[in-house]
Structure 1
């Protein structure tokens, strides 16, 4: 559980760094903003599924703007903090049943879902950084090891 907690601290830190960069450079690339929205909407969908609530009406890919991203970051951080605080270590291997966006049913452990969400965001933050570089903007360092070095957490 300690590792998962740290992964979510990193996730929140990385999302905040991307947001601040997009705000500071006045990112006008809708493609970059849509990728960032996708990360945040997917986080929202997954925490909803982890709670056993139907997520079929929530968007996964939807256009947005920086203000929507800022709002989603706060909501997702609060929702995951509450969720992670409420579960016990033994709950991590419990299976969660959910229906994906195409209507297909699946079962996965909480541990696998939580790991997926953290890795999914990092994958798309890499895509955002690639697009920022192509636009002549310095990519955002969101490496896990940078986060660890900055905060020296155990």
Structure 2
């Protein structure tokens, strides 16, 4: 449980660092904002599913607006923090059933979902950094080891 919680502390830290960097750059790179919005939308979808609510109408890809991203960064952190507050080690094996936006039903353990969300975001934050470097902007250091320092 401590490991997964630490992963989410890192996730929240990394999201905040990416957001602050994207806000500060003058280059209005639509694809970078779209990727960041996707990370945040996916987090919202997964926490909705973990809480037993219907996520099928939530967008996975949407137009990225700074204000919406700012709200999702805050909201997702609060929701996952609350979720972890009430989560016991034995809950990690609990199976979550959900229906995706295409109407297909899936079942995964809480552990698998939490691991997926953490890795999914890191993958896309890497894509964001790659795109930043391509336009001459220093990538954001979101390495886990930097976080634990």
Q: How many residues align?
A: 149
Gaps of 5+ in 2: none
Matches of 1:26 and 1:111, distance apart in 2: 39
* Deviation, structure 1 residue 102: 2.0
Runs of 4+ aligned residues of structure 1 deviating over 6 Å after TM superposition are none
Q: Which moved more, 1:106-115 or 1:20-29?
A: 20-29
Residue in structure 2 matched with residue 96 of structure 1 by the alignment: 96
Matches of 2:64 and 2:20, distance apart in 1: 16
Please report the RMSD computed on the Cα atoms of aligned residues, expressed in angstroms.
0.8
- Cα distance per residue 1:36-76 (max 9 Å; x no partner): 00000000000000011000111100012222111100000
* Deviation, structure 1 residue 27: 4.0
* Deviation, structure 1 residue 114: 0.3
Q: How does 1:1-154 map to 2 (within 5 A)?
A: 1-149=1-149
Give the alignment's TM-score, normalised by structure 1: 0.94
Gaps of 5+ in 1: 150-154
